Structure 1
Amino acid sequence: MKSVYATELSAASEVAIETETCLDCLERIGVDELHLVTVVPVNVHGGTIGIDHEKRRRRVLRRYRNSIEDVGFDVETHVVRGTPHRRINGIAETVGADLSIVGSRGKSPLENRLIGSTTRNLARTTVVPLLVNRIERETESPDLVEKHLFERLLYATDFSANADRAFEAFSYLRHAAQEATLVHVETETSPGPDGDRAPEERLEELTDRLEEWDIDATIDVRMGDPADEILAAEATHEPTTTLVGSRGQSKFRRLLLGSVSESVVANAAGNVFLVPARRTA
């Protein structure tokens, strides 16, 4: 599997890229080729006196590359100029990536924006599964919130086609997963997906499939606002990563990312693995 790893070359990015436990998790799910991508924004001018931005970034990426190759990955580096999320998505499509990874400092009590604009735009436009790797903030020496990326998964489903697509990710995540909690949230206006089948019954079918892969699975059915309840379930079960599908479709998907998915990506305390809808013409 190929993965694009986007970095802005900060201390936070460095800890995410060079943490061996994190790299081991990626190797376990089948990633053997990493494409390190850093984007020089269009508003950063190459002619800044005394600073060669692209040369500096290539130098730092070479150091990252050497560290990751020592662990056993094939590594390519890309220093590009443009709008970050567009260039990251473009490289993911060009190299045929199976997933993209971006670090996020998460929630800041001093900001209205809960995640960076690049992370938010990637969540809205990604064409491959996106791992939002949560990093500590408000510290000079940041660390990953969870180093074991896929050890304990929280899977949120409304039994839609997009949620089913997200469940398919277990086909490779299972190689690093030990536990999974399957969450479904009923609302007052739509108490269930089928009139003749209880959510518990449908979730039990999914747990049976996971237990065939030696994943210890449990279910959690809730009532209320889906985004709020999924975040509450994360606080209760403390997964290392929350797995969700997005509702975005077609070339306009950036405008259609489900509000539930966007809220989870923005507000989750830990990592989020977002699986986009299948592309349509």
Structure 2
Amino acid sequence: MFERVLIATDFSDGLHRLANFVSSLALAGIKQIVFLHVVPLWEKGIIPQVDSEKVEQAQTRFKEVVGTNPTDIEVKIEVQSGKPVETILKVAKTYQSQLIVLGSQSRSVLTEKLVGSTMAELSRQSKIPFLVLRPQLIAAYTSEELTLRCQHLFRSLLLPYNGTQAANRLVQQVKDLAQHQSGRFIQQCKLCWVLENTGRRDIPKKILPQQANETLSQIKADLEGVNLQVETEVREGHSVTEILEAAAMADISAIAVSSATIGKLQEWLVSSFAAEVLRHSWYPVLFFP
């Protein structure tokens, strides 16, 4: 599973709160956590400089929380000045992180295009999976609820499937994680195929529900071979709407998606399914670039 995790927080996303729950995160199979905060360079002068005061404040803020957690998990604190994407990639490489945890506000395609998106830029440059969490979700959890959430980050995954190469790659990614996990961190998953006519060339033509069920049954048998409990469901309608509805009715920990276009030019022309899920889902999203 994901044993080395980088949690990147700007303190407005609430992810720094996870520093209070490192013992619970250890129960999700995590053995090393790096908490990263990137401080923008001080640019009031001619030459940008490190804002030493803000760096020290961030370090103190982390240490006060992390220091209260007696645990066997390895916890590192990194506070650096620079550009967020460059710094995240550099720190992830240094610690050989297998997963990056990010906070993401809900936003439209236009807003994302105008102001940019750290996640979109990271997905273009990195092959490391992300776990994207809504700040409002983290803020709303009580300590008891967040303890359970941290323990079961990946226990039950919803896998949207539509027969495309990206969908097959997603299934393979989850299968590999389940096959090589040291414990029972991923226990079950739900395969959901939403049949719709979109006119998009990257999605196969509409097939009959019976055909979709037969395909999902084959994938189910394959995933059960790596000791996963698997459910399948075929729906009809708008893909994003139906997947979010399926998530609401199922007992899941996160929605898993994959895309090769987020952060690229074609993403601004035709928004991908994965990008829409990331923009609109209040559930945690496990994203595979």
Matched, 1:244 2:257: yes
3-state DSSP class of the match of 1:149? Answer: coil
Among 247, 268, 286, the alignment partner of 1:234 is 247
How many correspondences in the alignment? 260
Is 1:4–1:101's contact at 8 Å kept on the other side of the alignment? yes
Equivalent-residue separation in structure 1 for 2:23 and 2:32 (angstroms): 16
CA deviations 1:248-281 (Å, max 9, x no partner) are 38xxx544555211111121121100001xxxxx
Letter in 2 for 1:228: T
Q: Which residue is 1:162 aligned to?
A: 166
Q: Using the TM superposition, give the Cα deviation of residue 133 of structure 1 relative to its aligned residue in structure 2, in angstroms.
A: 2.6
Equivalent-residue separation in structure 1 for 2:50 and 2:260 (angstroms): 42
Distance 1:80 1:239, change over 3 A: same
Letter in 2 for 1:172: L
Q: Which residue is 2:8 aligned to?
A: 6
Q: Using the TM superposition, give the Cα deviation of residue 65 of structure 1 relative to its aligned residue in structure 2, in angstroms.
A: 4.5
Give identity over the alignment, percent: 22
Letter in 1 for 2:192: V
Equivalent-residue separation in structure 2 for 1:142 and 1:255 (angstroms): 40
After TM superposition, the score normalised by the length of structure 1 is 0.75
CA deviations 1:167-205 (Å, max 9, x no partner) are 223433563133311012222244358x9x922222112
Matched, 1:224 2:237: yes
Equivalent-residue separation in structure 1 for 2:218 and 2:17 (angstroms): 39
Equivalent-residue separation in structure 2 for 1:55 and 1:97 (angstroms): 24
Letter in 1 for 2:223: L
Matched, 1:172 2:177: yes
Q: Which residue is 1:38 aligned to?
A: 37
Q: Which residue is 2:156 aligned to?
A: 152
Distance 1:85 1:26, change over 3 A: farther
Q: Using the TM superposition, give the Cα deviation of residue 80 of structure 1 relative to its aligned residue in structure 2, in angstroms.
A: 1.6
Letter in 1 for 2:63: R
CA deviations 1:37-81 (Å, max 9, x no partner) are 110124676687xx810111122233454356x322223322222
CA deviations 1:108-137 (Å, max 9, x no partner) are 9xxx77x99434544555420000133436
5+ unaligned residues in a row in structure 1: which ranges?
277-281
Equivalent-residue separation in structure 1 for 2:103 and 2:25 (angstroms): 14
Q: Which residue is 1:62 aligned to?
A: 63
Q: Using the TM superposition, give the Cα deviation of residue 34 of structure 1 relative to its aligned residue in structure 2, in angstroms.
A: 2.0
CA deviations 1:120-161 (Å, max 9, x no partner) are 544555420000133436968876594421122101123333
1:30-109 to structure 2, matched below 5 A, reads 31-42=30-41, 52-67=53-68, 70-104=70-104, 106-107=105-106
After TM superposition, the score normalised by the length of structure 2 is 0.74
Letter in 2 for 1:15: R
3-state DSSP class of the match of 1:127? Answer: coil
Letter in 1 for 2:174: A
Q: Which residue is 2:205 aligned to?
A: 191
Greater mean alpha carbon deviation, residues 234-243 or residues 8-17: 8-17
Q: Using the TM superposition, give the Cα deviation of residue 13 of structure 1 relative to its aligned residue in structure 2, in angstroms.
A: 2.0
3-state DSSP class of the match of 1:128? Answer: coil
Letter in 1 for 2:222: R
Letter in 2 for 1:156: P
Letter in 1 for 2:193: H
Is 1:61–1:77's contact at 8 Å kept on the other side of the alignment? yes
Q: Using the TM superposition, give the Cα deviation of residue 4 of structure 1 relative to its aligned residue in structure 2, in angstroms.
A: 1.4
Equivalent-residue separation in structure 1 for 2:141 and 2:42 (angstroms): 28
Equivalent-residue separation in structure 1 for 2:32 and 2:250 (angstroms): 32
Equivalent-residue separation in structure 1 for 2:138 and 2:226 (angstroms): 39
CA deviations 1:203-242 (Å, max 9, x no partner) are 1122123323443211122233322322222223242100
Letter in 1 for 2:160: A
Distance 1:150 1:141, change over 3 A: closer
Equivalent-residue separation in structure 1 for 2:192 and 2:10 (angstroms): 34
RMSD: 3.6
